[in-house]
Amino acid sequence: MNSGESAGPLAGLRIVEVSSFVASPLCGLTLSQLGAQVIRIDPIGGASDYRRWPVTAGGESIYWTGLNRGKHSLSCDFRNPESQKLIQQLATAPGPGGGIFVTNAGGRDWMGHETLSALREDVITLEILGKRDGTAGVDYTVNAALGFPQVTGRGGGEVVNHVLPAWDIACGLHASTALLAAVRRRDQTGAGSQITLPLEDVALATAGALGYLTEVMVNGRQRQATGNAIYGTYGTDFVTADHARFMIVALTNRHFWDLVTLTETGAAVDALETALDTDFRVEGERYEYRDALTALFARWFRRHSAAEVSDALRKSSVLFEQYRSFTDVVESDALETNPLFSPLEQPRIGQYLAAGHPARFDSRHLSAAPAPVVGQHSAQVVAEILGLDDDEIAGLFERGVIG
Amino acid sequence: MNSGESAGPLAGLRIVEVSSFVASPLCGLTLSQLGAQVIRIDPIGGASDYRRWPVTAGGESIYWTGLNRGKHSLSCDFRNPESQKLIQQLATAPGPGGGIFVTNAGGRDWMGHETLSALREDVITLEILGKRDGTAGVDYTVNAALGFPQVTGRGGGEVVNHVLPAWDIACGLHASTALLAAVRRRDQTGAGSQITLPLEDVALATAGALGYLTEVMVNGRQRQATGNAIYGTYGTDFVTADHARFMIVALTNRHFWDLVTLTETGAAVDALETALDTDFRVEGERYEYRDALTALFARWFRRHSAAEVSDALRKSSVLFEQYRSFTDVVESDALETNPLFSPLEQPRIGQYLAAGHPARFDSRHLSAAPAPVVGQHSAQVVAEILGLDDDEIAGLFERGVIG
C-alpha cells in the first residue's frame, strides 16, 4: 500500500493495532518503518488521543500524526458486534505474515487472546498494560512511584519529573522486540504467543537491570541526587564567559587528564590528589571528589567564550556538547544535513523534516509515509485483506460497521 | 549452556557481542532473556566499564553484573592477530542461528562488516555509534545537545539533566528490534544485513516522532518548561497534610470531573469556566488553565493525609501514584510480590531480587542466569562453537590468545 514498504526487512509482515498514547503506537511505527504493513483500527472519529497536544493552529495533532506515519487506518464502531467480528477477522486473517495483534486497550474478551486464538491457533497477541494487575497507569505515575524524580535535579526535597516519556518509549520498543521474537518462534515452530507487557514492569525491570534498585538491596542505600553530575564517573556542566552551557563527560583516564590539561589545572589537581591522599586514575575517586574538581575546572570555562571552549574541546578526547534548545536544533543545519530526516508532506499538518528509523540498513535509511486520516483506508483494508467486493463494502458503511 | 535458555522464543539464536556501557549490553540482555545464547567477548580483565558504579563494598560492579546476566564470557587479547581471527570465527560460525555480531566498539576493520561478510556472506552486524559520523557521544552529551534539559524542571534558565539514561535504553531496544528484523529477513531471503545505529539518531528520531522538534518546524515555537505538570493535558503533583507527595493525571473527561468531585471544587471550577469563557471538557483548555485548577485542587490535598488521599483516589477513575524513593520501592513488598522478580545468587555481589524480561510470554516470565566473570566461558565457547579440543584450547591459553 505504501511505496517503499516492500523494501524493509519486515516486508511481508502485517500487524493490526488498536492503540493509543505513546508505547503502542511507537511499537507500530517502528515495525512500519522496518517494512511491516501496520493497520490501525480506530473508533470512528478517532480514539481519545487523536487531538492530543502538540497541535497546529488548526487543532490537528502533531503528536498523533508523528507516531502513526506510514500506517493504514480503518475505523469502525467498536460497540457493534459486526465491527467486532470484522476486527477479529483482520487480526486473524491467514498468511504467514498475518495474525499479529497489538493493543493497549485490553480487557475486552471479544478481542482477547482466547477469542483470537480460537480463530487462528498461531495468532500472536501483545497487550500493553499500565500496571501489571491490569489497572491504569501512565508514564508519569509509574515514574513517580519508582524513585527517579527524587534523584533528578538538586535533591533536598525537590522532586523533578522527566519530560521525555522514557518508560513509554522503552515499553514500545520492548513490545516491538518481543513481537519479533514471537514471530521468529512461530516461523520456526508454528506456535503462537500471548504476550502481556505492563508499563510498570518495563520500568521496574529497567531500574533493576541498571542497578538503581539492586544497590539498595545489596548496599542498603540508594544513590542521592547529584544535580547535573553523572553518577559514578566525572561529568557535569559548565558555563562559559558568554553564558553558554556545556556538558562535559570524562569517562576514561585519557578523557580526564585531557580535561585537566585543557583547563590548565594540572598543578592544582596534583596538589589536591596528594592532599586528599587519593588517586584520580580511579574513576570512582574522580566521582567522589567531583565538586572540588569542578570548582577547579570551572574557572577556565568562565574565562573563555563558547567558541573558544568548543575549539579547545574539539582538539581533545573529552566528550562534550553545548546545551541547545529544540529551537536551536531546528534552526541549526542538524536536521537538513542528516539523511535520517527527509521532507514529509503531512496532510493537515504541513511539510516538515521527518525522521526515519534511526538505524541504517545496508547504508540506507528507512523512512515512512505520512500518517493517515482516521478511516482513510477502511474500504481498501477490507477489500485487500478480507476480499470483500464493492457491494459488501458499501453495506458495511451503510450499516455503520466501518466509517 | 544456561538452564532455561531453550525455553525462550529466541532459542537457537546466537549473538556475539563486543560491548560496553548501557545500550549494547542491554540489547544483549534483552535477547538473552528472550532465549538467545549471547556470548560477550571482552579484553582480558574486562573492558573499561567492568568496575563501573554502583559497586559493592568490595568494588564489584552492580551495574555490569545487572546488564550482563545470563551471558557467556570469553576474554582475549584484542591486539593479538590470532585473537582477532578467533573473534571473526565466533561471529561467523555456521548455523542458521549464528552469524550475528553486535558491537559499540567499532572502527576496527578486523571486526567490521566487510571483513565478517567475506567470511560469512549472510552475516548480520549491528554497530552502535555515538554520533552518526562515528565520533564519540554518550547519553548525557546527546541529551544536552537535543533540548530536553532546558524544558525539564521549572525553566527560567535552569537546565536539568535526566538521571535515567533514556537514550541508551531506547538505543539498546532499537538495536534488539532491528537485529530481529534482520534475522527475519535472513530467515526469509537468505540475505545478511549491515546495520549501524547512532545514539544521536535514536534521540533525534524519537524527539521527532513525539513532536518536540516537529512543533518548532510547524508552529514556529517550542514548548516551555512546565515543572512537574504534564504538557498538553491535566496532570501535576500535590502535597498532603502529612507531607507526602502524589502525582495525579487526568487524561479524560471522566478522570478530570472525578478529580473535581473528589476535591469538592465543583462550584469553583464551574465559576472559573464561566469567568474565563472556556470549556474544561476540552483537554487543551484544562492544560491552559492548569495553574488555576491546581491552586483550587491543592487545598483538598493539603487538608488530607496520604492515607485519606489514597483511599479517595482509589475509589475514583483518576490516575495517581504516591512518589516513592528507590528505597521505598525495595522496602515495600512491590518486588517480593511481583513474579517479574526472582531471587538471584550473583557471585561477587550476593543474593538479590532480579528482574526478568518485562513481558510475560504465555503467562510465564523469562528470567536470566547470573552474570559471568570475564573469561568464565573462554574454554567452553571455543570448544562448543569452534570444536577445538583440549590441546588446542590449552595452546590458546598458553599463547595468551584467550584468558
Closest CA to B104 of B124, B129, B140, B79: B129
Cβ-nearest to A63 among B56, B210, B245: B210
Cα–Cα distances in angstroms (integers) from residue B295 to residues A144, B233, B255, B273, in the given order:
21, 16, 18, 14
Active site residues of B: 168
pLDDT score recorded for residue B153: 95
Which residues of B are less than 8 Å from A150 in CB distance?
Answer: 323, 325-326
Question: What CA–CA distance (Å, rounded) separates A341 from A339?
Answer: 5
Asked if B125 and B195 touch (Cβ cutoff 8 Å), the reply is: yes
Closest CA to A368 of A72, A3, A69: A69
pLDDT tens per residue across span B163-217: 999 999 999 999 999 999 999 999 999 999 999 999 999 999 999 999 999 999 9
Cα–Cα distances in angstroms (integers) from residue A350 to residues A59, A347, A369, A383, B163, in the given order:
13, 6, 13, 30, 35
Cα–Cα distances in angstroms (integers) from residue B197 to residues A362, B7, B168, B193, in the given order:
11, 29, 11, 13
pLDDT score recorded for residue A156: 86
Q: Profile chain B (403 residues) by mean pLDDT over runs of 10 residues.
A: 61 97 98 97 94 95 97 97 98 97 95 98 98 95 97 92 97 98 97 98 98 98 96 98 98 97 98 97 96 98 98 98 98 96 97 97 92 97 97 98 96
Interface check for A38 against chain B (CB to CB < 8 A): the answer is no
The verdict on a CB contact (< 8 Å) between B319 and A283 is no
Cβ-nearest to B66 among A171, A211, A245: A211
The verdict on a CB contact (< 8 Å) between A161 and B207 is no
Closest CA to B236 of B150, B321, B162: B321
List strand residue ranges (DSSP E) for A10-153, in order. 14-18, 37-43, 72-76, 100-103, 124-129
The three cell numbers locating residue A179: 513481537
Which residues of A are less than 8 Å from B251 in CB distance?
Answer: 48, 138
Chain A stretch 319-378, residues whose beta carbon is closer than 8 A to a beta carbon of chain B: 319-330, 334-335, 338, 340-341, 349-350, 352-363
CA atoms within 13 A on the CB side of B390: 0
**Max CA pair span of chain B:** 88
Chain B interface disruption, residue of A26, A50, A141, A143, most B CBs within 10 A = A141
Asked if A95 and A9 touch (Cβ cutoff 8 Å), the reply is: no
Q: How far is A166 from chain B (nearest CA, A)?
A: 6
Provide CB contacts within 8 A for A118, sequence distance 6+: none
Decide: residue A377, CB within 10 A, 0-12 exposed, 13-18 middle, 19+ buried.
buried
Cβ-nearest to A169 among B29, B206, B338: B206
Q: How far is B275 from chain A (nearest CA, A)?
A: 23
Asked if B90 and B15 touch (Cβ cutoff 8 Å), the reply is: no
The secondary structure element, H or E, covering residue A327 is helix A326-331
pLDDT score recorded for residue B3: 40
Strands A245-250 and A234-239: antiparallel
Strand order in the sheet with B234-239: B234-239, B245-250, B319-322
List strand residue ranges (DSSP E) for A167-302, in order. 193-198, 234-239, 245-250
Which residues of B are less than 8 Å from A322 in CB distance?
Answer: 144-145
The verdict on a CB contact (< 8 Å) between A9 and B182 is yes
Chain B interface disruption, residue of A245, A323, A332, A365, most B CBs within 10 A = A323
With b for 16 or more beta-carbon neighbours within 10 A and e for fewer, the B38-55 pattern comes to bbbbbbbebbebbbbbbb
Interface check for A173 against chain B (CB to CB < 8 A): the answer is yes
Chain A stretch 73-102, residues whose beta carbon is closer than 8 A to a beta carbon of chain B: none
Chain B interface disruption, residue of A218, A245, A282, A357, most B CBs within 10 A = A218
Which residues of B are less than 8 Å from A324 in CB distance?
Answer: 144-147
pLDDT score recorded for residue A338: 97
> The cell 457491494 sits on which residue?
A391
CA atoms within 13 A on the CB side of A194: 14
pLDDT score recorded for residue B7: 77
Q: How many CB atoms lie within 10 A of CB A339?
A: 13
Provide CB contacts within 8 A for B93, sequence distance 6+: B14, B99, B385, B386
Cα–Cα distances in angstroms (integers) from residue A346 to residues A39, A195, A287, A369, A370, in the given order:
18, 33, 47, 9, 5
CA atoms within 13 A on the CB side of B256: 20
Where chain A has pLDDT below 70, the residues are 1-6
Chain A stretch 374-403, residues whose beta carbon is closer than 8 A to a beta carbon of chain B: none
With b for 16 or more beta-carbon neighbours within 10 A and e for fewer, the B283-296 pattern comes to bbbbbebbeebbeb
Q: How many CB atoms lie within 10 A of CB B192?
A: 20
The verdict on a CB contact (< 8 Å) between B319 and A136 is yes
Q: How far is A45 from chain B (nearest CA, A)?
A: 16
Given the candidates 3.10.20.590, 3.30.360.10, 3.30.470.20, 3.40.50.10540, the CATH classification of the domain at B5-208+360-398 is: 3.40.50.10540
Chain B stretch 272-291, residues whose beta carbon is closer than 8 A to a beta carbon of chain A: 283-284, 287
ipTM of the predicted assembly exceeds 0.95: yes
Q: Which residues, listed in sequence order, are joined to residue B237 by a DSSP beta bridge?
A: B247
Share of chain A above pLDDT 70, in %: 99
Q: Which residues, listed in sequence order, are joined to residue B40 by a DSSP beta bridge?
A: B17, B73
Q: How far is B327 from chain A (nearest CA, A)?
A: 6
Q: Which long-range contacts (CB under 8 A, 24 or more apart) does B115-119 make?
A: B115/B88, B116/B88, B116/B91, B116/B92, B117/B192, B117/B194, B119/B88, B119/B89, B119/B92
Question: What CA–CA distance (Å, rounded) separates B52 from A287?
Answer: 11
The three cell numbers locating residue B293: 485548577
pLDDT score recorded for residue B48: 86
Interface check for A131 against chain B (CB to CB < 8 A): the answer is no
pLDDT score recorded for residue A207: 98
Q: What number of C-beta contacts closer than 8 Å exist between A and B?
A: 462
The secondary structure element, H or E, covering residue B238 is strand B234-239
The verdict on a CB contact (< 8 Å) between B210 and A66 is yes
Question: What CA–CA distance (Å, rounded) separates A362 from A290?
Answer: 43
Q: Which residues, listed in sequence order, are joined to residue B39 by a DSSP beta bridge?
A: B16, B72
pLDDT score recorded for residue A5: 39
Residue type, B164: L
Active site residues of A: 168
Cβ-nearest to B230 among A140, A175, A216: A140
Question: What CA–CA distance (Å, rounded) separates B368 from B375?
Answer: 19
Interface check for A232 against chain B (CB to CB < 8 A): the answer is yes
pLDDT score recorded for residue A157: 86
pLDDT tens per residue across span A117-168: 999 999 999 999 999 999 999 999 999 999 999 999 998 888 999 999 999 9
> The cell 561529568 sits on which residue?
A235
The verdict on a CB contact (< 8 Å) between B144 and A352 is no
Asked if A75 and A403 touch (Cβ cutoff 8 Å), the reply is: yes
pLDDT score recorded for residue B368: 82
Cβ-nearest to B352 among A26, A207, A218: A218
Interface check for B238 against chain A (CB to CB < 8 A): the answer is no
Question: What CA–CA distance (Å, rounded) separates B294 from A153?
Answer: 23
Q: How many CB atoms lie within 10 A of CB A20?
A: 23
